[in-house]
Amino acid sequence: MEEENQTGVVQFHFHPFSTDPAVVPLLFVAFLLLYLGSLVGNMTIGLTVWRDHSLHTPMYFFLFVLAVLEIGYSTNIAPLTLAGILSMGRMLISLPGCGAQMFLFILLGGSDCVLLAVMAYDRYVAICHPLHYNLIMSWELCGQMTLGSLGLGFLLSLPLTILICHLPFCGHNEIHHFFCDMPAVMRLACTDTRLHEAALYVISVVAVAVPFLLICLSYGCIVATILRMNSAEGKRRAFSTCSSHLIVVLLQYGCCSLIYLRPSSSYSPEEGRAVSVVYTFFSPVLNPLIYSIRNQEVTDAIRRLMARMCWVRKPEIFLPRKNIPQTRNKGMM
């Protein structure tokens, strides 16, 4: 096995959800519907923001970027999961393939978490400093914060992926998961992984705990500002604007904290797999629904987009033309 590890022929297979031939098709259809739902929902959000000029504001720009990240995030996990369900654990994945999935998972997931903190800052400026909003949240700053989120995700994913891919693996290489999740892969290494576990914990703190604290700080200032408002309508609109973002934050950070911000000694493969299903399949489906249902502007824009796409021009009715005798133009004779 060491020789295989050195030549790059190390292969893994995933622990199946079920080996019952009657259950496998049901699982496949359920996960496929969730994946398609996430694609349709996030594509609808992205296309709506792209096409509707009334949504060309910083808040909806970040929502567009979030939808694009969710599409990449789902596509990185779902196809391999669906193939693993059909193969009932017999499908193999190489170490480089597993490393590529881990890299994209941390890159997109970390960028997603940082972007949620950026969106919270946008709401803080809009509610606490409304008169200076356009000056502070310029398009240049929005672009810089988006690129910063992606850059931070890249810097977090690359070193950890390299560390894990250089681990020696031996014995029965069954990943007790449905994708190459870092804790599940590190458990298969036949060496001391305390350094790798510490690196994963530090990266989790940077990608999850720090953005979450910034979100809490932003919303603490937002709540204090809302409570000082005299207008009941203003309070209602402010809470309505922030509620959808808060629901997504609690869903995303709650699941990530259960997996990556807990001691490795208390890690449970079954619990880890169950929680991962929530934030890799259910969360990308729920996020577009939350943002569209809780936000009247997005709902109205989606209706306008659907109306434009479904509108069919009525075909013209051509009546038979009467035979009109043509007179020759003598001038042309």
Query: Could you read off the pLDDT of 305-327 as tens digits, one per residue?
Result: 888 777 644 444 444 444 545 44
Q: Is residue 64 part of a domain?
A: yes
Query: Could you read off the pLDDT of 49-97 as tens digits, one per residue?
Result: 998 888 899 999 999 999 999 999 999 999 999 999 998 878 889 889 9
Quote the domain boundaries for residue 236: 11-306
- Which CATH number belongs to the domain containing residue 68 in this structure? 1.20.1070.10
Asked if the model's pLDDT at residue 261 lies above 90, the reply is: no
Q: Is residue 52 part of a domain?
A: yes
Query: Could you read off the pLDDT of 275-303 as tens digits, one per residue?
Result: 899 889 999 998 888 887 777 788 888 88
Task: Tell me how far apart the alpha carbons of residues 160 and 195 are, in angstroms, rounded to a whole number.
Answer: 11
Region 1-20: mean pLDDT is 68
Q: Is residue 1 part of a domain?
A: no
Tell which wins on pLDDT, 251 or 332: 251
Cα-based angle 95, 32, 174 (whole degrees, multiple of 5): 30
Q: Are 89 and 15 in contact (CB under 8 A)?
A: yes
Average confidence score pLDDT of the chain: 84
Q: Is residue 317 part of a domain?
A: no
Tell which wins on pLDDT, 24 or 6: 24
Residue 171: what pLDDT?
67
Q: Is residue 233 part of a domain?
A: yes
Q: Are 214 and 182 in contact (CB under 8 A)?
A: no
Task: Tell me how far apart the alpha carbons of residues 161 and 110 are, in angstroms, rounded to a whole number.
Answer: 13
Question: What is residue 266's DSSP assignment?
Answer: G
Task: Tell me how far apart the alpha carbons of residues 103 and 106 are, in angstroms, rounded to a whole number.
Answer: 5
Q: Is the dihedral of CA 191, 196, 200, 201 positive or negative?
A: positive
> Based on the structure, what is the number of domains in the chain?
1
Q: Is residue 321 part of a domain?
A: no
Q: How many other CB atoms are there within 10 angstroms of residue 181's CB atom?
A: 24
Q: Is residue 2 part of a domain?
A: no
Whose CA is closest to 269, among 14, 25, 11, 21?
14
Task: Determine whether 28 is exposed, middle or buried from the number of CB atoms within 10 Å of its CB (0-12, 13-18, 19+).
Answer: middle
Residue 316: what pLDDT?
45
At 35 the three-state DSSP class reads helix
Q: Is residue 194 part of a domain?
A: yes
